[in-house]
Amino acid sequence: MKSCNKSISELRRDLVSGTWVAFATGRKFRPNAHDATPHVSDNLDDPKDCPFCKENIDRQKQEKDLLIYMDKKGDWSLRVFPNKFPIFCSETKDPARREMGPFEVMNGVGYHEILVTVDHRKNFPDLSVPKIVEVFDAYQDRYLALMNRKNIKYISIFKNYGKSAGASIVHPHNQIVAMPVIDPDVARSLHGSAKYFQAHKECVHCTMMEWERESGERIVFENEEFSVVCPFVSRVSFEIRIYPKRHLSYFERITAEQKIKLSEAVKFALGKVKHNLDDPDYNMFLHTAPCDGQAYDHYHWHLEIFPKTSIWAGLELSTGMEVCSVLPEEAAKILRK
């Protein structure tokens, strides 16, 4: 990718916490990179100026599509292409893990892709179930395409909705980031579920969900394959998790039938977020087993939705302890309405 040259990213590891931080300097040129105003409305709200709208994207054609789904009329309905402002870059081939003084540093080898659905105004709650299934088809297609590439250890797929959630472009889009390290947040939760499994011979997520289903208090939605819940220990107000009911570790193995059921669950959950919470910004992301060649059968994949109803402040930043102003029992009641 052309734009990679000027924006090769570097990973630096914190000496105390072990956390990797990606320095992707080319990203400061992306739209609204330094504008912290938490409102969606800006000039990119107009489809005429939108880089992801059909006419503009067809005209640009500078990026090769990695995936394109066509509708019956011969128009594209979904496409995946490389991010113009990548956090990880496929042009750098060698991670070249090295020391700098007491620090560990490596090149940001990887892939960063954008998944765009055609309609400028239609987000998950407004799309039909078959159109949401297409999005999860694309998640799976790209996951399978990237998971065995050299140096790739983890693939993160997420959606930012609204400026305060980090979306610099209004047009509905998802991002797929394949990275050469397992990020510390994921590592912590993998470690936690492995430890629980060793101690109890049972999946921690299955145990939690079984208890949630028995109580029903925090369940927002259920179908044959998925449960939508406001977790007992929510980290933010109105946090939502979507779990497969069966113990499944690897998202990329999802079946066609499960994708339909997942799409129903996502449509329901995000529809409630939009209508019952006054359309807040949010982040939605996939947590699944890494693709670094190890076995993670103790893990249980899921989607998480974090509505932006408050901003991290001093206590969170200084201690990592989050303060949640709404009980999940109350949140689930409001979302179920």
Give the binding range for Zn ion (CB under 5 A) out of 160-168, 219-227, 242-250, 311-319: 242-250
**Within 158-177, which residues bind Zn ion (CB under 5 A)?**
171
Residue 197 is classified by DSSP as H
Structure tokens at 306: 């974090």
Residue 89 or 181: the one with the smaller Cβ distance to Zn ion is 181
**Ramachandran assignment for 78, one of left (phi > 0), alpha (psi -120 to 50 degrees), beta (any other):** beta
**Ramachandran assignment for 154, one of left (phi > 0), alpha (psi -120 to 50 degrees), beta (any other):** beta
Residue 120 or 213: the one with the smaller Cβ distance to Zn ion is 120
Answer whether 206's CB lies under 8 Å from 178's CB: no
Of 4, 133, 147, 203, which lies in the binding site for Zn ion, with binding defined by CB under 5 A?
A: 203
**Within 222-241, which residues bind Zn ion (CB under 5 A)?**
none
Residue 229 is classified by DSSP as E
Listed residue (62, 128, 79, 81) closest to 264, CA to CA = 128
Residue 30 or 247: the one with the smaller Cβ distance to Zn ion is 247
Is 53 near Zn ion (CB under 5 A)?
A: yes
Of 50, 114, 155, 208, which lies in the binding site for Zn ion, with binding defined by CB under 5 A?
A: 50
Residue 7 or 160: the one with the smaller Cβ distance to Zn ion is 160
> Any idea which residue has 């969170």 for tokens?
316
DSSP 85-101: S-SSBSS------EEET
Of 27, 142, 173, 205, which lies in the binding site for Zn ion, with binding defined by CB under 5 A?
A: 205
Is 287 near Zn ion (CB under 5 A)?
A: yes
Residue 109 or 153: the one with the smaller Cβ distance to Zn ion is 153
The contact mask relative to Zn ion for 61-100 (x = CB under 5 A, - = no) is ----------------------------------------
Give the binding range for Zn ion (CB under 5 A) out of 221-229, 251-259, 287-295, 307-315: 287-295
Q: How far is CA 205 from CA 98, 195, 199, 244, 299, in A?
A: 37, 12, 14, 10, 8
Is 116 near Zn ion (CB under 5 A)?
A: no
* Cα–Cα dist 235/188, whole Å: 15
Residues lying near Zn ion in the complex (CB under 5 A) are found at 47, 50, 52-53, 120, 171, 203, 205-206, 247, 287, 300
